């Protein structure tokens, strides 16, 4: 595939789309409205960053990408469920996501909640289904990889991050909020990006690469969220597919709100520099991850 970041990304992403479509029941399967809601959000034009990272991690370890496909698809389902639930009126109360009305706006709150629940459950079904992996993949490895994802997604990971994010919302600024902000970003965003890389590496039989990829994921994940915050307060509405300035409106704790845009951009670059340093020992094998890290800070959506 050479050194073409976008070409390689698109190839992986196309594979992810294909397998997601294969593994999520079609709208013709009853209850059809539920499957329609699941697919509406799952195929709403996501960047597929997490699953692409899982596939890339397997390749870094010397395996083919397909070895990590059930994990990649499960991780994207988990990401999608978290967006559906985060958008609910009781949570962030958002009407648009990726330029389309949010799930509860289209299907109603009850079905949006249930579509999220169904995606989360299906994710674990797919990730733990030994028959979806090449036969050379040991069951121990599958269990080890799934555990990483579960830890990153659960109360001590992503869900915990969302809880603290909501708790901090609209609070008067004060001491300890810098730590709170980092805690939220690590748990809400970085942990799942770390886990995508580590799970992809583990299922491919990684040794010490797993730790390296995890540490890389932590830094890229944090940088990704910082850039997201910046775009959320001054990005291009059309490219973002959602209104700009919502975070400020809701009194969300964000990097630009706390440090300003310039210092936040600097922070993102530092994190990426650190991520590149961490990849050092992997040499040429990690070219894709290196290019991707550089892309993360320069993206516009």
In whole angstroms, the minimum distance from the beta carbon of 55 to a second copy comes to: 21
Piece in contact with a second copy (CB under 8 A), picked from 64-72, 108-116, 191-199, 278-286: 108-116
For residue 131, the surrounding DSSP H or E stretch is none
Question: Which of 17, 95, 117, 291 touches a second copy (CB under 8 A)?
Answer: 117
Sign of the torsion angle spanned by Cα atoms 246, 249, 251, 253: positive
The residue assigned the tokens 């300003």 is 260
Question: Which of 1, 6, 14, 90 touches a second copy (CB under 8 A)?
Answer: 90
The residue assigned the tokens 């397909």 is 66
**CA distance readout (Å), 174 to 85, 178, 180, 221:** 29, 9, 11, 26
Sign of the torsion angle spanned by Cα atoms 149, 154, 159, 164: negative
Give strand pairing partners of 97: 100
- Binding of a second copy at residue 130 (CB under 8 A)? yes
In whole angstroms, the minimum distance from the beta carbon of 252 to a second copy comes to: 14
- Binding of a second copy at residue 272 (CB under 8 A)? no
In whole angstroms, the minimum distance from the beta carbon of 257 to a second copy comes to: 21
- Binding of a second copy at residue 147 (CB under 8 A)? yes
For residue 101, the surrounding DSSP H or E stretch is strand 100-101
DSSP state letter for 171: P
- Pick the closer one to a second copy by CB: 117 or 291: 117
- Pick the closer one to a second copy by CB: 99 or 154: 154
DSSP letters for 243-278: -TTHHHHTT---HHHHH-HHHHHHHHHHHHHHHHHH
In whole angstroms, the minimum distance from the beta carbon of 218 to a second copy comes to: 19
Question: Which of 167, 178, 262, 270 touches a second copy (CB under 8 A)?
Answer: 167
- Binding of a second copy at residue 41 (CB under 8 A)? no
CA distance 80 to 24: 13
| Residues found near a second copy in the complex (CB under 8 A) | 25, 29-31, 33-35, 38, 81-82, 85, 88, 90-91, 108-111, 113-114, 116-118, 120-122, 124-125, 128-130, 138-140, 142-144, 146-147, 150-151, 153-156, 159-160, 162-164, 166-167
């Amino acid at each position: 595939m050479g050194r073409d970041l976008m070409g390689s990304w698109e190839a992986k992403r196309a594979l992810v789309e294909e397998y997601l479509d294969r593994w999520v029941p079609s709208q013709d399967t009853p209850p059809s409205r539920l499957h329609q809601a699941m697919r509406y959000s799952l195929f709403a034009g996501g960047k597929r960053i997490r699953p692409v990272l899982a596939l890339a991690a397997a390749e870094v370890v010397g395996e083919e990408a397909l070895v990590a496909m059930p994990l990649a698809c499960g991780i994207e389902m988990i990401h999608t469920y978290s967006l559906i639930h985060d958008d609910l009126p009781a949570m962030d109360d958002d009407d648009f996501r990726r330029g389309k009305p949010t799930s509860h706006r289209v299907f109603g709150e009850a079905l949006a909640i249930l579509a999220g629940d169904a995606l989360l459950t299906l994710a674990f079904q797919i990730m733990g289904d030994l028959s979806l992996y090449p036969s050379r993949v040991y069951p121990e490895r599958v269990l080890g990889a799934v555990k990483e994802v579960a830890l990153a997604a659960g109360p001590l990971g992503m869900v915990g991050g969302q809880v603290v994010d909501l708790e901090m919302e609209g609070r008067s600024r004060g001491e300890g909020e810098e730590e709170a902000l980092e805690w939220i970003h690590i748990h809400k965003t970085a942990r799942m990006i770390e886990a995508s890389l580590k799970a992809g590496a583990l299922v491919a039989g990684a040794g010490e690469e797993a730790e390296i990829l995890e540490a890389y994921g932590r830094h890229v994940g944090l940088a990704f969220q910082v850039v997201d915050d910046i775009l959320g307060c001054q990005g291009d509405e059309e490219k973002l597919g959602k209104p700009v300035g919502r975070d400020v409106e809701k009194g969300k704790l964000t990097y630009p709100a706390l440090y300003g845009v310039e210092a936040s951009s600097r922070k993102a670059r530092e994190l990426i520099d650190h991520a590149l340093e961490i990849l050092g020992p992997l040499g040429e094998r990690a070219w894709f991850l290196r290019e991707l890290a550089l892309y993360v800070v320069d993206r516009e959506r």
